[in-house]
Copies of this chain bind each other. A is one copy, B any other.
Amino acid sequence: MFGAGVRAATDEQLELIESKVDVLLETVGVDLQGHPGSLEAMRSLGAKVDGERVQINGAALREFVSAHAPSSFLWRGAKPNTSIHIGDGKPAFLPVYGPPNVRLGDGSRMMGDIDIYRDLISLCHEAKGLHSTGFMVCFVHGLSEAETHLQMAQAHIELSDKPFMGTVMSREALLEVVNMMPSPATSGECNLVHLINATPPLTYQKKPLECLQAASENAECSIVSSYMMMGATSPVSPAAAVVQGYAEILVGLALNQVYCPGCPVVFGMYAMPFCMKNMIPVFGDPISAKVQLLASQLASRLGIPSRGDGGLTNAKLDDAQAGYDGANATFIAAAGGSDLILHSAGWAEGGRCTDVNKLVREGQVLHDFYGSL
């Protein structure tokens, strides 16, 4: 779509980043909390394990991941013509993931619940520019913990035939959604994509480690992600943040391939400045674009698909700032070669709100703009 694409660094610069990742993994390492299975898996790859701290040779990890993880895979929809290829050179666009609140078309603002969740899934289904209905397009308040993920998954199944993501609420919840799938994942094909987040700096908590293992053992895809707040949970400079993020991600990717060699997996790295004055992350800042481009290039060297982050902004309404920030974030991700672009439609207020106007607008213009290129 974009030819050679937009690049932020030379091969020499990327090699330098990788060598710094190696130093970090060898001398500092990554903490894997509350999950002995992860420690065991890393030990099987030659890691030195001290308590919950894992230290390992980064170059060998990259080699291991490259040797096993596929460069592309099929993400199944309910019909063959809605399934999408991840890693084929064209980005897949996914809606916003995670906001607790929703701003409706009339400007009013509410907490997410299952009714608005279902409406949002229908809008994502109708949106020509979205290839997936994602997951957690808003929080679902008001249901019991045992019911929430089931009703969410049910909404995706009932209201759309596009592929959707799995839940990472807990290992048990994840497995329950996996069991709702009509047929198991097979080599090169998955039903669900799971968002597995490290907890920077250099840490994975118990629940994501459990979910990563559960998804992988079912051959379902994970996006192994580091989402860093520069100046708070990572260094402030882009290159140093990327080094930290890559160290975190590399360990997650390796775990995935130990659990299930050949399992579809996606490289996800993003970092945004943390505003020390207002104590909030700043979305739509151009420095994040640089991190995004570096992430795509590093994933490409590893030979696996990468996640991008589109549509990001701190704007409270769908105004000029939202339009400009969101367009640039999406374009950087697409032109840099991201294979799967999360938050492409509906993101507002730094991720604290799903904006219905913005979701509908972006769901259409993504089709108009990227469909024409």
- A interface residues (Cβ-Cβ under 8 A, vs B): 2-8, 285-287, 289-290, 318-328, 331, 335, 357-358, 361, 365, 368-373
Nearest to A318 among chain B residues (CB) is B320
Nearest to A372 among chain B residues (CB) is B286
Known: A2-B7, A3-B7, A323-B324. 5 other contacts (CB 8 A): A286-B368, A320-B323, A320-B357, A323-B326, A324-B324
The 7 A-B residue pairs whose C-beta atoms are closest, nearest first, are A323-B323, A3-B7, A4-B4, A327-B327, A323-B324, A320-B323, A286-B372
A271 to B369, CA, bound (A): 15
Closest Cβ of chain B to A90, distance in Å, is 14
Please pick, from B3, B287, B289, B369, the residue contacting A6 in the complex, using a CB distance under 8 A.
Answer: B3
Closest Cβ of chain B to A2, distance in Å, is 5
Which residues of B sit under 8 angstroms from A320, Cβ to Cβ? 318-320, 322-323, 357-358, 361
Closest Cβ of chain B to A334, distance in Å, is 9
Which residues of B sit under 8 angstroms from A289, Cβ to Cβ? 369, 372-373
B369 touches A328 (CB 8 A): yes
A365 to B331, CA, bound (A): 16
Closest Cβ of chain B to A36, distance in Å, is 43
Closest Cβ of chain B to A60, distance in Å, is 29
Which residues of B sit under 8 angstroms from A369, Cβ to Cβ? 286, 289, 328
A327 touches B335 (CB 8 A): no
Please pick, from B6, B322, B331, the residue contacting A328 in the complex, using a CB distance under 8 A.
Answer: B331
Given A328-B331, A331-B327, A372 and B321 contact (CB-CB distance below 8 Å): no
A-B contact pairs, 26 of them (CB 8 A): A3-B4, A4-B4, A4-B5, A6-B335, A8-B373, A286-B368, A286-B369, A286-B371, A287-B372, A289-B369, A289-B372, A290-B372, A290-B373, A319-B319, A319-B320, A320-B322, A320-B323, A320-B357, A321-B323, A323-B324, A324-B327, A324-B365, A325-B327, A327-B331, A328-B331, A335-B335
A307 to B342, CA, bound (A): 33
Closest Cβ of chain B to A48, distance in Å, is 38
Which residues of B sit under 8 angstroms from A2, Cβ to Cβ? 6-7
Most buried by B among A7, A8, A322, A369: A369
Closest Cβ of chain B to A329, distance in Å, is 9
Nearest to A287 among chain B residues (CB) is B372
Closest Cβ of chain B to A13, distance in Å, is 11
Which residues of B sit under 8 angstroms from A3, Cβ to Cβ? 4-8
Nearest to A331 among chain B residues (CB) is B331
A7 touches B4 (CB 8 A): yes
Most buried by B among A319, A320, A327: A320
Which residues of B sit under 8 angstroms from A326, Cβ to Cβ? 323-324
A60 to B172, CA, bound (A): 72
Nearest to A293 among chain B residues (CB) is B373
Closest Cβ of chain B to A126, distance in Å, is 19
